[in-house]
Structure 1
Amino acid sequence: MFYNLKESLEKPALYTKSKEAFWDDEYISKQMLKAHLDPDFSGASRKFSFIEQSVSWIKEKIPAQTYPKLLDIGCGPGIYAEKFALENYQVTGVDFSKRSIDYAKKSAQQHGLANIYYYQDYLAMDLKQSFDLATLIYCDYGALSTKDRQTLLDNIYQHLKPGGKLLLDVFSQKFYQQFQEEQKWENCENGGFWRPDEYIALYGNYKYSNDVTLEQTTIVSDTEITPYYVWNTCFTKDALIKEMQEAGFEFCEIFSDVTGRAYNEENKTMAIIVEKNLGGQVYEKVGYLVNKCRGY
């Protein structure tokens, strides 16, 4: 037990994954849903006022008349998805939290919306259909490892129609620069976000040399020592565009956030719109196979 505690206080290897899928934990997912639905809290979803601005901009920039079938990746309880539906998009949502998906389905039914939701890991989603527009909002993309980001982009690409668009946001270099490394702890005598009963939470914020940050929470009680990891890969404008192009997408535009504010390198986030480029993807696949045959 002491060794596990000592180990949990050390800086972990890059992109170490949580052993527990906390977003689908019976108790934690309930707390996350509450956070999602709190209109004034921005720790799980952005504030409702921001979401309203975001949807208003998206419907003008990538209108439902031209891009009717929308795939909302990491849709959570359907907050964005429902607003998209009210703007005449045909919405399909995917999320790996069963509680959130169950809530989204019930809410859509109550509001008379035709939204379709799937409880799936978006790294392995297989929806047997294609879409005109995919959204991945709230900087989820940068929470993945380099390999998982490649997997996700390939998966999204396969689910988009030719000429289909992808909108996502990430944290920028400004976020990385301002991120502060620290370690602290909290005694939760009456339980809290992570557990219903008493526990101690050890928090560790760490920076890595390749523009990656980690927010680590370790739960300590009489019966467990459980670490949870939230990674964030931070991008420059050029690095983000390059990563999209390597996956076969064609760069369209870049912004400071998903409300369409003009790009500013002093902003902590940036949003990008890219388009499915069939020729580019074929080129990448052929190049990969050629290099594999050559032993590279």
Structure 2
Amino acid sequence: MRNEMKDFIKQPKIYQQTDTPFWTDDYISQKMLENHLDPSIDGASRNRSFIKKSASWICQKVPPADYPTLLDLGCGPGLYSELFAESGYQVTGVDFSKRSIDYAKESARKKQLPISYLKQDYLEMELTETFDLIVMIYCDFGALSANDRHLLAANIYRWLKPGGKFLLDVFSATKYDQTVVQQSWVYSEGAGFWSENSYLALNKTSKYPNFVWLDQTMVITQEDQITYNVWTSCFTEHSLAAELAGVGFKEYQLYSNVCGESYTKESETIAMLLKK
């Protein structure tokens, strides 16, 4: 316990990972799914009103008649994928969470939507198929290390057909500036988000150079203590465009978010629609 506390107090190296990713934990993944499916909050997914507005704009901007095949990276329980399929896209959804993919498959079956779902780590998967449109929504790209982002971006470029489009969003430098360095603790008497048993959660937010911050949580129960690191990289228009140009993307359109709102320097997110 003492060593774990020392590690928690000590500043981790940038992008340092912990041994246990929380999205593979059986209990926490269920709580994550509940957050995904709550239509009123921006939790694991954005609120349902935003998702519907966003999917509608994407369908207008990159219509399925011209871009019929769509790959949804980090699809979660299929909230976007189902709207895309209902709009006429041929959809493939990818997510690393077995619980989310199982839910998405069952939901698509009930709604009779011909969506192909894959439980895969998109950093490691091999695809032989190519797509007209690839989307990566809710700032998942910025949760990766610089090396992993380069690997994934290169794969995305390869998975696109000539003339295909890639849409993503990330948190902006403005969001980084607004992020507060802080520490807090929460005690849960009985089951909570992090455990089905009573626990103490120690939370710490730390900022790093180059618009990176870390949200770190140590969960302490009577039986164990586990630390989770969640990294977020933020971007300017120039830094994001330069990073993606490094794998071949040269042409892009810039927006404030994936609803197509005009970009301003005050925007907390940046959305880019790039062309291969």
Would you identify which runs of 4 or more consecutive aligned residues in structure 1 move more than 6 Å? none
Partner of 1:228: 228
Percent of residue pairs identical: 49
Amino acid at match of 1:268: E
SS state of the match for residue 53, structure 1? helix
Question: How far did residue 253 of structure 1 move?
Answer: 0.2
In the alignment, the residues of structure 2 paired with residue 10 and residue 201 of structure 1 have an alpha-carbon distance, to the nearest angstrom, of 17
Unaligned runs of 5+ in 2: none
Partner of 1:133: 133
Question: How far did residue 11 of structure 1 move?
Answer: 2.0
SS state of the match for residue 203, structure 2? strand
Tell me if 1:8 matches 2:8. yes
In the alignment, the residues of structure 1 paired with residue 91 and residue 133 of structure 2 have an alpha-carbon distance, to the nearest angstrom, of 10
Map 1:186-201; keep pairs closer than 5 Å: 186-201=186-201
SS state of the match for residue 36, structure 2? helix
Tell me if 1:245 matches 2:245. yes
Question: How far did residue 223 of structure 1 move?
Answer: 2.4
- Could you say which structure has the larger radius of gyration? 1
Partner of 1:256: 256
Count of aligned pairs between the two proteins: 276
Farther-moved stretch of structure 1 (42-51 vs 119-128): 119-128
Partner of 1:113: 113
Maintained 8 Å contact 1:244/1:251: no
Partner of 1:281: none
Map 1:1-296; keep pairs closer than 5 Å: 1-276=1-276
In the alignment, the residues of structure 2 paired with residue 251 and residue 194 of structure 1 have an alpha-carbon distance, to the nearest angstrom, of 42
Amino acid at match of 1:152: L
In the alignment, the residues of structure 2 paired with residue 229 and residue 113 of structure 1 have an alpha-carbon distance, to the nearest angstrom, of 36
In the alignment, the residues of structure 2 paired with residue 237 and residue 215 of structure 1 have an alpha-carbon distance, to the nearest angstrom, of 24
Instruction: Give me the TM-score of the superposition, normalised by structure 2.
Output: 0.98
In the alignment, the residues of structure 2 paired with residue 94 and residue 17 of structure 1 have an alpha-carbon distance, to the nearest angstrom, of 22
Unaligned runs of 5+ in 1: 277-296
Cα RMSD after superposing both structures = 0.9
Maintained 8 Å contact 1:68/1:132: yes
Maintained 8 Å contact 1:204/1:215: yes
Question: How far did residue 6 of structure 1 move?
Answer: 2.4
In the alignment, the residues of structure 2 paired with residue 82 and residue 9 of structure 1 have an alpha-carbon distance, to the nearest angstrom, of 43
Instruction: Give me the TM-score of the superposition, normalised by structure 1.
Output: 0.92
Maintained 8 Å contact 1:125/1:155: no
Maintained 8 Å contact 2:202/2:218: yes
